Amino acid sequence: MLFSCSLLHAQKKDVPPSDLDEYILVKEGDTLTINLDEISVIPKLKFKSPTDARYYYWFQRKVFKAYPYAKLASVRLDSIHRRISKIQKKRRKKKYVKRAQEYLEGEFTDQLKKMTRTEGRILIKLIHRQTGRTAFENIKELRSGWKAFWYNTTANMFKLSLKTEYHPESVNEDYLIEDVLQRASLDQRITLKESKLNFDFPKIAAAKKGIINVEQYKAMFLKQSKKVKRKQKRIKKQTTLKKAH
């Protein structure tokens, strides 16, 4: 619940980028059995231009900022569910959930409020990846459908939805998120926790052939730039009128 509602207050704006398997080897008539670590082969990244590459690495930083919170949310929710399953009385369950929320709130709210809208959207998707439930479903299960409805209504004001799901096989942004995570895991930059959703990323990546599409972010900043220019033009006009009077 903390992760679902605290990020809704984010006011910071986005800034554009300036198991083991056994293998048998036979050599010169001798048979040798060795164990090799399983590895994932991901196609090399392909960008249309240096600008696209900058946007990809800008997006990578967003994923790196959101992932630790999604991972922590998964751990905390699993712990809460285990504790709740052992509590018989409804009143005690409610009291425990409230106490757990207050603890997390005091520890992480300030950091979550510093998230941009893009980071908030990525976090909502990653919560679904890590827990197997959307942020909306997690709130509904632990609190109530009414609470989930109002949290989602608030999210909509920030152009976010707690019902957003994670589908790297069909949604470009989700594919980019998973691509960043998988490559970072292979490079040992992060410890990637297995998703509770069912998708085959190596198969998805092979179909994409490493081609990176960042058009939605370029369009987002173009739109943002136009808004800034219109605002500056309006302010300049108002200033000119004041001087004339």
> Which conformational region is residue 209 in: left (phi greater than 0), alpha (psi within -120 to 50 degrees), or beta?
left
pLDDT in tens, 161-202: 889 999 999 999 999 999 999 999 999 999 999 999 999 999
Q: What residues have CB less than 8 Å from 143, skipping those under 6 apart?
A: 1, 97
pLDDT in tens, 86-99: 888 878 877 887 77
Most confident of 80-84, 120-124, 138-142: 120-124
CB–CB of 139/161 below 8 Å?
no
Average confidence score pLDDT of the chain:
81
The sign of the CA dihedral 147, 163, 157, 54 is positive
Mean pLDDT within 212-228: 90
Looking at per-residue confidence, does 8 or 218 come out higher?
218
Distance CA 70, CA 76 (A): 10
- What local confidence, expressed as pLDDT, does residue 23 receive? 44
How would DSSP label each residue in 157-185? Answer: HTT--TT----TTT-HHHHHHHHHHHHHH
Q: Which of 155, 175, 162, 187 is nearest to 216 (CA)?
A: 175
Mean pLDDT within 136-148: 74
How would DSSP label each residue in 17-80? Answer: ---EEEEEEEETTEEEEEEEE-----PPPB-SSHHHHHHHHHHHHHHHHHHHHHHHHHHHHHHH
* CA diameter of the chain: 99
Looking at per-residue confidence, does 9 or 46 come out higher?
46
Q: What is the pTM of this model?
A: 0.78
Mean pLDDT within 115-134: 92
Distance CA 153, CA 150 (A): 5
Please compute Rg for the chain using Cα positions.
23
Q: Out of 18-32, 73-87, 181-195, which region has the weakest mean confidence (pLDDT)? A: 18-32
